[in-house]
A and B are shown apart, each in its own frame.
Chain A
């Protein structure tokens, strides 16, 4: 019961912070709030028993993302977003799409149902055989590095490519300016 209440309270706080990010115009405040949002998300993920994911979200979202956004704000210079003229089309569109997605979630299995399809195909095999076959108690690491090792190779290549992309965009060739096209 307390677990339910804790998860509900954290999700409500997440919703409040997200609305605050949407409405705030001072971009520095937006960046700080997005760091708080990442920490709250990491707590919610811990409540969902996703320990690895929570650690990654806290480190990446609240650490590296905040630093990158602050660096970009320092370089892009502008600190205030202009006031929007409140057109109603984006709100209506978002609301309509939201109702469609909520209708779709009724097709998802019931929350915390041990008989749902997600728990019946490959996951029990990984949980039972993982320790015997790989010798690693952390099943998430075993699946990430061994059973689905190709995906992790692709992901490492994506990170590498992003690094190269940022180097290509931001490298300085001459004193006082980037390479002009």
Chain B
């Protein structure tokens, strides 16, 4: 599909907007519909779109496999880390009100980081699954790691 000029031009125009919309959905999820899950899925869908139009190799150059694999785990770590931060600062696990000088600001901070963690994991998992499905049928010689 690389040779079709309409698809290439439309993809190059749409993908930045899709990524920007994903960021908007992530950070505006407090005030409107949205949040971590939707944003993660939209990011994965934008990169999948890029991979479908320009080829899997181009997508793997743009978003490399080690980055995606670390994103899968990093999101859960961030989420669990917010809980541990609550423990270290004097409350129970996943207490948000101790995270800042004021309980409501602490809730804001906790919700923000928790949603970021969720978005990272969801986008990493969806993208990694796409890479695995799309890269399987052709006898790729590159190993996925140890």
Chain A interfacial positions (CB closer than 8 Å to B): 51-52, 54-56, 59-60, 63-64, 67-68, 71-72, 74-75, 132-138, 140-142, 144-146, 149-150, 152-153, 156-157, 159-160, 162-164, 166-167, 170-173, 175-176
Contact of A63 with B45 at beta-carbon distance under 8 Å, contacts A68-B129, A146-B96 already known: yes
Contacting residues, chain B, for A71 (C-beta < 8 A): 130, 133-134
The 17 sampled A-B contact pairs (Cβ below 8 Å) are: A54-B33, A59-B41, A63-B41, A64-B48, A68-B130, A75-B136, A133-B104, A136-B31, A136-B107, A146-B110, A153-B79, A153-B83, A156-B117, A167-B144, A170-B132, A172-B143, A176-B139
How distant is B85 from chain A, measured CB to nearest CB, in Å? 13
Once the chains are docked, how many angstroms separate the CA of A46 from the CA of B118? 23
Taking the complex as formed, is B98 at the interface, i.e. its CB lies under 8 A from any CB of chain A?
Answer: no
Task: Find the B residue at minimum CB distance from A150.
Answer: B94
How distant is A61 from chain B, measured CB to nearest CB, in Å? 10
CB <8 Å contact, A149 and B94: yes
Contacting residues, chain A, for B137 (C-beta < 8 A): 74-75
Contact of A166 with B29 at beta-carbon distance under 8 Å, contacts A64-B41, A144-B35, A145-B115 already known: no
Taking the complex as formed, is B19 at the interface, i.e. its CB lies under 8 A from any CB of chain A?
Answer: no
CB <8 Å contact, B107 and A134: yes
Contacting residues, chain B, for A133 (C-beta < 8 A): 103-104, 107
Taking the complex as formed, is B90 at the interface, i.e. its CB lies under 8 A from any CB of chain A?
Answer: no
CB <8 Å contact, B114 and A152: yes
Taking the complex as formed, is B87 at the interface, i.e. its CB lies under 8 A from any CB of chain A?
Answer: no
CB <8 Å contact, A163 and B129: yes
Contact of A52 among B35, B107, B132, B140 (CB under 8 A): B35
Contacting residues, chain B, for A153 (C-beta < 8 A): 79-80, 83, 94
Task: Find the B residue at minimum CB distance from A77.
Answer: B137
Task: Find the A residue at minimum CB distance from B78.
Answer: A156
Most buried by A among B35, B80, B94, B115: B35
How distant is B133 from chain A, measured CB to nearest CB, in Å? 3
Contacting residues, chain A, for B108 (C-beta < 8 A): 134-136
Once the chains are docked, how many angstroms separate the CA of A2 from the CA of B45? 34
Q: What 14 additional pairs, Cβ within 8 angstroms, besides A141-B115, A160-B125?
A: A64-B126, A67-B45, A67-B48, A135-B108, A137-B31, A141-B111, A150-B94, A152-B118, A160-B72, A160-B73, A163-B124, A163-B128, A170-B132, A172-B140
